[in-house]
Structure 1
C-alpha cells in the first residue's frame, strides 16, 4: 500500500509567466470547513482570479474562479493528486499582466505553480487513526496511562472519573489498534478493555 502524505505546514511559491503573476499557497486541512476557511483567508480580492482545489480522501472540490472551464481548478487538483497528497488545499492567485496565455498556457501556469509550491513543501505520512474509550480501575490507572502514553502515535487522556476509577479516551493508529487492545488486556489481567468507535 502506498503511504498517503499531507503537508506539515503552510507553504507558498510565486512565479511570473508572460507578465502575469501567479502565487500559490498550500496547507493541510482536516475537513471541508477548514478548506473553505483557508480559501477565504488566502484569496486576494484585488487579484483577477483566486483559483483553488482541495482533496480529503475521496472528496474533492475545485474552482476556476472566472478562468475558462478546466484551465485552473482541475490542474491544481492534478498537482495535489500527482504528488500523492491528501488533506491538502491549494489556492493559486493570478494578477493579469496583459498577455493572454490561452487554455494550454493557463493549464500549465496554474498546475505548474501549484506543483512547484507542493514539491517544495515539507510533507509527512498521513496516519489513519481510531478512537475509543477504556474503563479502568484506580489500581490500574497510573500503569495504563504510562504504558499507553509511551506507545508511538497513541494518546490517552482521562475523560471522566467514576466511583471505581476512570474512563479514558484513547486514539491510536488504525494499524496498531489490535496491539493496544492486547497490551491493555495483559496489563490489567483483562479488567480493562477498550471499546473502539465505529
Structure 2
C-alpha cells in the first residue's frame, strides 16, 4: 500500500463523517476522512474549503505515512489555538492516514485561547468517535489453483481460518483469490501445498493494510 508498506499495523478510521456543535453562538463543523497519502489529504482539505468558502475559518490537520507527514493550519485563528489541538487529538488517538478539517462560523463572542483549544479539540474528537477508530494489519492477497476434487477440502480449510475469500472462478480448474494476515501466510500456504500433494499453485498478488477487529480477525 504505497508508503505504508513498511508498517505492520496501525490505527485509522473506518468511515468519513461530518459532525457539528455550537459554542457561544459559533458553529463548529468537523469533517474527517481516511486518506491514502498526503496528496489525498490536501485534495480533501481543498474540497472542504470550497464547500464552506463563506466560513470564518477552515482549520485542518492531517497525519499520513505513519506520522512522517504531519501538517496543520490555524487558518487565521490565534497561533497554536486551532490546528495544533486538532493534530494533537489525531496523535493522541494514534491515527494514521487521517485528515480533519474543522470549519468555524464565528458567532460574535470571543472564546479566548483556552476556549478555542477546547472547541477545536472537541470537534476533532467528536469526528474520530463518529468515524470509528479501527486497527489495520499487513495482509497478503493471494491466488491458488486446484482441481475440483481438492476444491471442497481447500475451501472448507480456508473458511475455518482467519481468511477472506474474495472470489472463486470455476473453469478447467478452480481459481480462488483470498486474503490472510502476513503472519499466517506461511502456515496457510504450507497446508494448501500439502493438500495439493506438494504442488505449489499459490501466487502472491499484493501486500496491503487490512482492517481487523481487536482480536486480530480480518473484517
Q: Same fold (TM over 0.5)?
A: yes
Cα deviation for residue 167 of structure 1 reads 7.7
Question: So what's the TM-score if we normalise by structure 1?
Answer: 0.74
Does the CA-based 8 Å contact 1:141-1:165 persist in structure 2? no
Partner of 1:54: 62
User: In 2 relative to 1, CA 120–158 (structure 1 residues): closer, same or farther, beyond 3 Å?
Assistant: closer
Partner of 1:94: 104
Q: Secondary structure at the match of 2:115?
A: helix
What value does the CA root-mean-square deviation take over the aligned residues? 3.3
Cα deviation for residue 140 of structure 1 reads 7.5
Partner of 1:7: 13
| 1:69 matched to 2:69 | no
Cα deviation 1:81-118 (Å, max 9, x = unaligned) = 22233332211001112233333332222112111232
1:60, 1:141 → 2: CA distance?
A: 50
User: In 2 relative to 1, CA 126–96 (structure 1 residues): closer, same or farther, beyond 3 Å?
Assistant: same
Cα deviation for residue 165 of structure 1 reads 6.3
- Out of 126, 151, 154, the residue aligned to residue 164 of structure 2 is 154
| 1:175 matched to 2:188 | no
Cα deviation 1:59-89 (Å, max 9, x = unaligned) = 3332222323332222112112222333322
Q: Secondary structure at the match of 2:137?
A: coil
2:116, 2:133 → 1: CA distance?
A: 27
User: In 2 relative to 1, CA 140–71 (structure 1 residues): closer, same or farther, beyond 3 Å?
Assistant: farther
- Out of 30, 40, 45, the residue aligned to residue 36 of structure 2 is 30
Cα deviation for residue 49 of structure 1 reads 1.3
Number of matched residues? 193
Does the CA-based 8 Å contact 1:140-1:188 persist in structure 2? no
Q: Which runs of 4+ in 1 moved over 6 A?
A: 164-168
The runs of 5 or more residues in structure 1 that have no matched partner are: none
Q: Secondary structure at the match of 1:67?
A: coil
Question: So what's the TM-score if we normalise by structure 2?
Answer: 0.68
Moved more, 50-59 or 91-100: 50-59
Moved more, 166-175 or 18-27: 166-175
2:200, 2:148 → 1: CA distance?
A: 11
Moved more, 166-175 or 93-102: 166-175
